[in-house]
Amino acid sequence: MVSTWHAVGIPAFPLFRNPEWTPDHHNPSLDQSESTDHGKNVRVLVLDDESVIAETVVEILRHEGFEAQAVPNGSAAIELAATWMPNVVLSDVVMPGINGIETGIKIREMIPDCKIILFSGQAATVDMLERAREQGHNFDILAKPIRPEQLVSVIRSGFGRAS
């Protein structure tokens, strides 16, 4: 149950690996042998240039039964999405290089049914989101800091699973 996760209850996870994601990094949990079946094995790609945030969100999602993988930038997210085929991309909006909106658009071009959820702690994202909407791209948006129960609810809402 998500309600047991509170800000003070979220452990501070050390940086598990070098924040530079490399395409030759092999993780057996990313193999496509498991498929999504009515909300089971939902794959969530977490994208944040702050590795501690990304890894913490991954741990929360794994605790809730999701398959989750973190990447540090938009290019890595697009590359991994092409082979891992996530059901959900959870991305920070403001990042160096390719921002979260551009990344979401590119991933949705490859995987049209992929749910894109953006999060941001910056007011500047409103203009970026409005421009994306004008081009026909609508995304769910969450404010930082992310409340774990809200995050899990938004992800599950697209797969017919109660939160």
Task: Judge whether 73 and 47 are in contact, CB under 8 Å.
Answer: yes
Query: Is residue 50 assigned to a domain?
Result: yes
CATH number at 46 reads 3.40.50.2300
Domain assignment of residue 49, given as a range: 39-152
Residue 100 has pLDDT above 70, yes or no: yes
Task: Judge whether 101 and 65 are in contact, CB under 8 Å.
Answer: no
Query: Is residue 85 assigned to a domain?
Result: yes
Residues 11-31, mean pLDDT to the nearest whole number: 40
Query: Is residue 65 assigned to a domain?
Result: yes
The confidence score (pLDDT) of residue 84 equals: 97
160: pLDDT confidence band, cut at 50, 70 and 90?
Answer: low
Residues 117-132, mean pLDDT to the nearest whole number: 75
Query: Is residue 19 assigned to a domain?
Result: no
Domains identified in the chain, total number: 1
Query: Is residue 21 assigned to a domain?
Result: no
Spatial separation of the C-alpha atoms in residues 83 and 77, rounded to whole Å: 10
Query: Is residue 159 assigned to a domain?
Result: no
Query: Is residue 145 assigned to a domain?
Result: yes
